């Protein structure tokens, strides 16, 4: 069975879906990798490294799609709407696609993929259960983003992060406020603490207090009554605007006294909640920095501009998008391990099986047999529930080239 790894075409995307180190484990499962020439170069994985581990190199993109029964991508169509559209014509019936497809936001793209007859697994939809942790690409990439956000802030802040005792006197530590303590927020806390900053953090989910404090930060308890702060999967739930308004009021003092604010608050399938107003930005000391990791979903800060760094009220605001791609070597390594674990979960007796009785497979299955089949995405599209299908259906035995 052949899995194809095309070169990523999203602007400034430097990651690759598989790295040479995981090829041995895939070979044991009966999978052979066909890598488009140059696919891993930007991440520090040359073609020769893939060949050394048993992969073949495809000289053309079309050739790779044609020969492979499955396609592995970091950003498939949906998560790469403009440059990725050309791949639709390369897809065929029962070809298996595995990667990120942004299905909660790119709804129409899911329908376009379904029309090709390809079977699509969207890794963003992976359930947050214990046995799926090794496959969790969102957590892996959020780890990279949280780390890099702090480094960006430290570079732009006209202060040093740690407290220093010098002959010239004592240098006070920088104060960092992290909003949202998911994976990205926790990694931002850990990185800022390692650099020596005094860190405070807030999240509407009181259950994260212990995690925040274990990293050496102070958990900020705001006098807010929030019901159902998180869903069954552990994600923050959307709140009424009144809750966000009260949150902004009590956060204003914390923002004003912080040198760096890093925001990470996201609600799956919705625009990011507005937590920092322009007035709050104006209250910060000149030279302060805000890094808004929710920029691509509208931003947690009113003044955020996606893809841009702007200065407002003498405060530098960063709206980075796709931060994981700026650390491509290790981001690719983590992503590849997630994808490899997912692939091996799908493969039984050297065949891929779509076993819809398995929660991991059922929840990530986006398109199948010409239709969008994921219940949540169908509902968002206004489609009736899909008819149940037979379980344990072999979807792909061997690629046509074999």
- 25 as an active site residue: the answer is no
Q: Give the mean pLDDT of 284-301.
A: 97
179, two tokens: 């909003």
- Residue in 235, 244, 257, 305 annotated catalytic: 235
- Residue in 66, 94, 115, 128 annotated catalytic: 128
Give the whole-number percent of the chain exceeding pLDDT 90: 82
Q: Which pLDDT score, from 0 to 100, does residue 388 have?
A: 60
Q: Which pLDDT score, from 0 to 100, does residue 207 have?
A: 84
- 244 as an active site residue: the answer is no
312, two tokens: 């407002």
- 133 as an active site residue: the answer is yes
347 strand-pairing partners: 352
pLDDT digits (tens, 9 = 90+) for 350-369: 788 889 899 999 999 999 99
User: What is the rounded CA–CA span in Å between residue 278 and residue 297?
Assistant: 18
pLDDT digits (tens, 9 = 90+) for 375-398: 999 999 999 987 765 444 444 443
Does residue 22 sit in helix, strand or coil? helix
Tell whether the model's pLDDT for residue 285 goes beyond 90. yes
Taken in order of first residue, the domains within the chain and their CATH numbers are 2-125+328-396 (3.40.50.720), 144-326 (3.40.50.720)
Q: Give the mean pLDDT of 59-77.
A: 97
- Crossing angle for the helix pair 137-156 and 328-346, nearest 10 degrees? 170
- Crossing angle for the helix pair 183-194 and 137-156, nearest 10 degrees? 40
- Residue in 60, 93, 133, 401 annotated catalytic: 133
33 strand-pairing partners: 3
291, two tokens: 């890094």
- Residue in 75, 102, 105, 136 annotated catalytic: 136
Collect all residues with Cβ–Cβ distance below 8 Å to 130 and sequence separation of at least 6: none
Collect all residues with Cβ–Cβ distance below 8 Å to 166 and sequence separation of at least 6: none
- Residue in 25, 66, 139, 257 annotated catalytic: 139
The answer to whether residues 361 and 391 touch, using CB atoms and an 8 Å cutoff, is no
312 strand-pairing partners: 315
């Amino acid at each position: 069975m052949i899995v194809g790894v095309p070169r990523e075409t999203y602007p400034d995307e430097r990651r690759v879906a598989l790295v040479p180190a995981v090829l041995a484990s895939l070979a044991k499962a009966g999978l052979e990798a066909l890598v488009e020439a140059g696919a891993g170069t930007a991440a520090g994985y040359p073609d020769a490294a893939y060949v050394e581990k048993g992969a073949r190199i495809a000289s053309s993109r079309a050739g790779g799609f044609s020969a492979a029964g499955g396609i592995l991508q970091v950003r498939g169509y949906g998560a790469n709407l403009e440059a990725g559209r050309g791949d639709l014509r390369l897809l065929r019936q029962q070809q298996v696609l595995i990667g990120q497809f942004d299905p909660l936001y790119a709804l129409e793209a899911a329908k376009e993929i379904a029309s090709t007859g390809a079977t699509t697994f969207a890794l963003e939809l992976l359930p947050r259960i214990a046995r799926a942790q090794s496959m969790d690409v969102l957590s892996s990439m959020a780890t990279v983003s949280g780390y890099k956000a702090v480094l960006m802030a430290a570079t732009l802040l006209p202060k040093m992060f740690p407290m220093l005792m010098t002959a010239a006197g004592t240098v006070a530590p920088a104060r960092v406020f992290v909003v949202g303590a998911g994976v990205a927020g926790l990694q931002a806390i850990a990185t800022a603490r390692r650099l020596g900053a005094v860190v405070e953090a807030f999240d509407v989910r009181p259950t994260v207090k212990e995690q925040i404090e274990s990293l050496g930060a102070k958990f900020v308890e705001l006098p807010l009554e929030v019901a159902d702060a998180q869903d069954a999967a552990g994600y923050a739930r959307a709140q009424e605007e009144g809750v966000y308004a009260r949150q902004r009021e009590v956060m204003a003092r914390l923002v004003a006294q912080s040198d760096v604010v890093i925001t990470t608050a996201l609600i799956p399938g919705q625009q990011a909640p507005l937590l920092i107003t322009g007035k709050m930005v104006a209250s910060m000391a000149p030279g302060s920095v805000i890094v808004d990791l929710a920029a691509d979903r509208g931003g947690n800060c009113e003044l955020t501009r996606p893809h841009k760094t702007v200065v407002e009220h003498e405060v530098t605001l960063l709206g980075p998008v796709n931060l994981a791609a700026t650390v491509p070597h290790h981001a690719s390594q983590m992503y590849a391990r997630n994808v490899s674990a997912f692939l091996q979960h799908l493969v039984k007796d050297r065949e891929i099986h779509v076993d819809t009785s398995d929660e991991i497979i059922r929840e990530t299955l986006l398109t199948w047999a010409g239709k969008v089949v994921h219940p949540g995405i169908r509902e968002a599209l206004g489609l009736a529930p899909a008819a149940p299908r037979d379980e344990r259906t072999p979807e792909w035995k061997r690629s046509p080239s074999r």
